[in-house]
Amino acid sequence: MKKSNAMTKQTVEVFTSVTDAVNRMVLNIQQISLNANQQSTAVQQILQAMNALNSSARETAIGISQTRVSTHQLNDAASTLQSVV
């Protein structure tokens, strides 16, 4: 009877140890999943920021081009006025 009780106790301890290990593994997997989701969100935010920068750069280039055209037109108008005066 003592051997049976000792074996039962040992079996319970082993199962408890396995259960604890599985629970820790589940928590670790959940943490890894959370970290992966956070990294995915961060990458998406970075891509959005890069797209916004690209859009701003395009708009700036368009503005510079329009300024160049306007400056050229003003120079032409100034030259015309100088020749009239």
- Cα 45 to Cα 33, 41, 73, 84, distances in angstroms: 18, 6, 42, 58
> Cβ neighbours of residue 43 under 8 Å, at least 6 residues apart?
none
Predicted pLDDT at 68: 97
Amino acid code (one letter) for 54: N
* pLDDT tens-digit map of 30-82: 999 999 999 999 999 999 999 999 999 999 999 999 999 999 999 999 999 88
pLDDT tier at 23 (50, 70, 90 boundaries)?
A: very high
Please state the pTM of the whole predicted model.
0.63
Q: Answer whether residue 8 shows pLDDT above 80.
A: yes
